[in-house]
Amino acid sequence: MKKSLGEADVSSLYQSRELDKVLVKLVDYMNPLRQNMDRKPGSGTGYQNYRRAAGLTANAFSDNIDVIETDSAEEKAGTYSELYLPYKTILSKGRVYRRVQKTGASIADLMREEVEGKAIELRDAEERRVFWGNSPTANSKQWPGINSYMVTNASTQVVALTNTGTGVTLTLEALDRAIDLNLGNPGLILTSRTGRRKLNALLQAQQRFVDKIEIKGGFKVMSYNDIPVVACTNIPDTLNITSGGTVSSLTGGSSTTVISL
């Protein structure tokens, strides 16, 4: 009966309008990045964030706040900058072909496998857009990723180690400078698996212990200065880095990146 109905009829009669909780669990399963990134509730078409300058940058404050006991407060708007984060949607659609159905598996089993596969596909796409959404390749349908904001704030938020895509050796001093750019202690250090191995080698070369820390979701990961280090497969080792330290292309170079947030 479901096959004989039109797609519009099926969606209204048989498919829930609510997001299936099982699908949410499939996306969260074995996904430390998604479970440990800060989530903000919002309303409207986006989330409004009020931000300050980087941790090593002095914050100008021109309001008249130095008063004597009998002075009254001067009313004036704040000088902080506003960052608007628009809400975007990612969507995928699967299909089970007739030829596959003839292999002997039931239609229920085939649909379950397709849904699980699509959930993993969407999970990977979401993680990729966390880093590279709308940058370095412009796509207005995507939400702005981390690299998008790094490009516009390269002088204050990026510690550059190289002027070309060939890359240079990672140092603990450079990593410490990147961490110091955060106003407070960062909650995560994100890098590729190669970046994690290089950090591990640096710590062992200085005869330092490589500590482990447990994060949300029950994952035990490497830590640096008590900050969890999470390796993400969507941070490649073929990045082309500009002179400002931001990523201009995901291919064509031999660099990776380390992000503290």
Per DSSP, what are the bridge partners of residue 260?
A: 189
pLDDT-derived band at 162, boundaries 50, 70, 90: low
For the chain, give the longest Cα–Cα distance: 87
List the strands of the sheet with 227-231, edge to edge.
211-215, 219-224, 227-231, 189-191, 258-260
| Percentage above 70 pLDDT, the chain | 85
Global confidence as pTM: 0.82
Cβ atoms within 10 Å of 15's Cβ, excluding its own:
10
Distance from C-alpha of 73 to C-alpha of 70, rounded to nearest angstrom? 10
Average confidence score pLDDT of the chain? 83
Amino acid 159: pLDDT: 87
Distance from C-alpha of 110 to C-alpha of 54, rounded to nearest angstrom? 50
Query: What is the per-residue pLDDT across 115-153, written as a single tens digit (0 to 9) for each?
Result: 888 888 999 999 999 999 999 999 999 999 999 988 888
Distance from C-alpha of 160 to C-alpha of 257, rounded to nearest angstrom? 10
Query: Range with the lowest mean pLDDT among 51-60, 189-198, 234-243?
Result: 51-60
Per-residue pLDDT, averaged over 25-53, amounts to: 83
> Long-range contacts for 61-70 (Cβ within 8 Å, ≥24 apart)?
none
What does the block give as tokens for 142? 């995507």
Q: Are strands 189-191 and 227-231 parallel, antiparallel or unpaired?
A: parallel
pLDDT of 12 > 70? The answer is no
Domain locations along the chain:
156-260
